[in-house]
Structure 1
Amino acid sequence: MEPTPDREPGIPTDLLGLARLAGMSLRHLVGTVTRSAVHTATDIVDDVRSGEPMSQILDERVALFRRAALSALGLTSTATGVYGPVDTELDVEDLKAMGDAMITEGWDTAQQPRDLHPSFVPILHDLTPDEARILRFLAVAGPQPAIDIRTKAPFGIGSQRLADGINMIAAMAGCALPDRDHHYLGNLSRLGLVRFSTEPVADFRRYAFLEAQPPAQAAYKSVKMRAISSYRSIYLTVFGKQFCEACFVLGDYTGGGWASDDRGDIYLGKGPRFP
């Protein structure tokens, strides 16, 4: 059976499906489009009185109501049935009106729990499977070491960067393409989930493992002068932690043993004890 002319293929017409697609509660969606529904019902009565065919009236009003629901969700439909942001040209006054309406509407804590941000659903759509593995690993393993390698210069003046961001996060997270780690981490930083810090991790011994990796050794040998390592760290932001707790099952995942990081080291002497 061919689809009716006013119904795009692949477009769900039930409000629950639309709400789930946009990560919005059903009650919130219904409240948003109620005014449109009232106007639609009034128009149907007027059309019936004017003698319009009932089948035509219902088809037209259902299409109008569906478009109102999509608009309330910030979505639109294409010929292929793919959803995307509504593409409209807004001026400054339109944006101010939208912002003021959002402020005055308030926050319904009963329908939007504080630990579920509305952007979690679109963020999931922006992730690759390997990026999801990295987030899950950082969520249980905590901050991870990274190194930049630079040429040594007095007071750092004139120092040249030879390599940056060398880390083992993608490999330790079990990524299918660990050599794409810089691309993955760059996207996660763009989404506000991961942060690059100039502060080192607590246990400095972890950097020796990075300095022995082939990319680091290649950087050291690429110059005749002496090269040094700058200790960095990569970790989840507060928003990133909230996202991982909401979107991934972390209970049975140990991150290859790094969830507890208990290596059973025995310290000798009176040196400092790392946590």
Structure 2
Amino acid sequence: MSDDEPARGIPTDLLGLARIAGLSLRHIAGAVTKGAVHTATELVDDIRAGEPMSAIIDERVEAVRRAALGALGLNPTTTGGFRAFDDDIDAEELKTLGDAMITEGWDSAQQPREVHPSFVPILHDLTPDEARILRFLAVAGPQPAIDIRTKAPFGIGSQRLADGINMIANMAGCAMPERDHHYLGNLNRLGLVRFSSEPVADFRRYAFLEAQPAAQAAYKSVKMRAISQYRSIFLSVFGVQFCDACFVLGDYTGGGWATDDRGDVYIGKGPRLP
């Protein structure tokens, strides 16, 4: 049979669809979890008996993949990716897809190596200023932040006057440092940055934040006494991995904060700062 001649008596479209339909849901979902080349190869093997190879490569593979994914509730996007499952997918189908991913995941060729598959879409969700913040935190480590509240006995009835005051965006060289809360909120949403109630080791760094205009305005906004709560902002474990994979950090010093050597001279046997 020549490459230009389809299987006799069998419409090529129906043959391809029949063979795909003959696969179990587990096999279809398993194929979807594989890389693009791996997936295309398996689908080609399933329908090549009734379709010329050149036609499969040029026209059929993408159509078959989209049809299979559509049957599973996955909708192709215009950028070539796939949106989340449709709302009407039932619990049994969801469990089938999850089990299929685990089963197919035993194939070591499908496992990510140094670069996690989510790094690329995360990069697309970042602004340049957010990338600068990540790079800064990667080299400078945890940074101080303060919340300002009214002072009350045992904290009962205390009111928050300002929260998350920090200098990270300024120190990272952001073009719009006034949007730092937006940036840090998005980075936290992406799982790259964490907010902690634990302070940084050097308490002297908080005095600089308390002198900032936003902090002073909060102190003066009430007649009663206001106090600062010391907090910190730092990269999550996943954020550290992301920065190591996505940014060149070797020559970047974070404006000198990579080492933060103040040349302190200690006298006596008191505690040493790190």
CA distance in 2: counterparts of 1:208 and 1:183, whole angstroms? 24
SS in 2 for 1:85: coil
In structure 2, the residue matched to 1:13 is: none
Gaps of 5+ in 1: 1-26, 46-56
Q: 1:122 and 1:268, CA in 2 relative to 1: closer, same or farther beyond 3 A?
A: same
Deviation at 1:108, TM superposition (A): 5.1
**Letter paired with 2:63:** R
* Counterpart residue identity of residue 170, structure 1: A
**Equivalent-residue separation in structure 2 for 1:262 and 1:107 (angstroms):** 48
Please give the per-residue CA displacement for 1:25-82, whole angstroms capped at 9, x wherever unaligned.
Answer: xx9332223231123322226xxxxxxxxxxx9668733312345677x77253xxx3
Is 1:66 matched with 2:66?
A: no
Question: Given the two structures, how large is their TM-score scaled by the length of structure 2?
Answer: 0.78
Equivalent runs, 1:137-152 vs 2, <5 Å: 137-152=136-151
* Segment of structure 1 superposing worse, 151-160 or 90-99: 90-99
- Percent sequence identity over aligned pairs: 72
Alignment correspondent of 1:262: 261
TM-score, normalising length from structure 1?
0.77
1:76 corresponds to: 76
For 2:85 and 2:229, how far apart are their aligned partners in 1? 47
Q: Deviations over 1:220-273 (max 9, x none)?
A: 000000000000000001010001001111111100111111121223455421
Residue in structure 2 matching 1:42, options 41, 46, 49: 49
Q: Which residue of 1 aligns with 2:175?
A: 176
Show the counterpart of 2:220. Answer: 221
For residues 248 and 149 of structure 1, the distance between their equivalents in structure 2, rounded to whole angstroms, comes to 34
Maintained 8 Å contact 1:131/1:185: yes
State the match for 1:54 in structure 2. Answer: none
Corresponding position: 1:33 with 2:47: no
How far the C-alpha of 1:173 sits from its partner, in A, is: 0.3
Where does residue 94 of structure 2 map in the other structure? 95
Secondary structure, counterpart of 2:76 in structure 1: strand
CA contact (8 A) 1:40 1:65 kept: no
Aligned twin of 1:85:
82
Contact persistence 2:44–2:56 (CA under 8 A): no
Shift of 1:113: 4.5
Distance 1:234 1:29 in 2: 38
1:151-203 Cα distance to aligned partner (Å, 9 max, x none) = 00000000000000000000000000000000000000000000000000000
**Which position in structure 2 is the counterpart of 1:127?**
126
Structure 2 gap ranges (5+):
1-33
User: Following superposition of structure 1 onto structure 2, how do residues 186-201 of structure 1 map, counting pairs within 5 Å?
Assistant: 186-201=185-200
User: Does the residue aligned with 2:62 lie in a helix, a strand or coil?
Assistant: helix
Q: 1:133 to 1:28 in 2, by over 3 A?
A: same
Aligned to 2:27: none
Work out the CA distance in 1 between the residues paired with 2:64 and 2:168. Answer: 45
1:61–1:265 distance in 2 versus 1, CA, 3 Å = closer
- Residue of structure 1 equivalent to 2:161: 162
Pair 60,110 (structure 1): closer, same or farther in 2 beyond 3 Å: closer
CA RMSD of aligned residues (A): 2.4
Structure 1 residues 111 and 258 mapped into 2: Cα distance closer, same or farther (>3 Å)? farther
> Structure 1, residues 114-161: CA drift from partner, whole Å, max 9, x if none?
432111111111110000000000000000000000000000000000
What code does the residue aligned with 1:233 have?
S
Q: 2:106, 2:176 → 1: CA distance?
A: 41
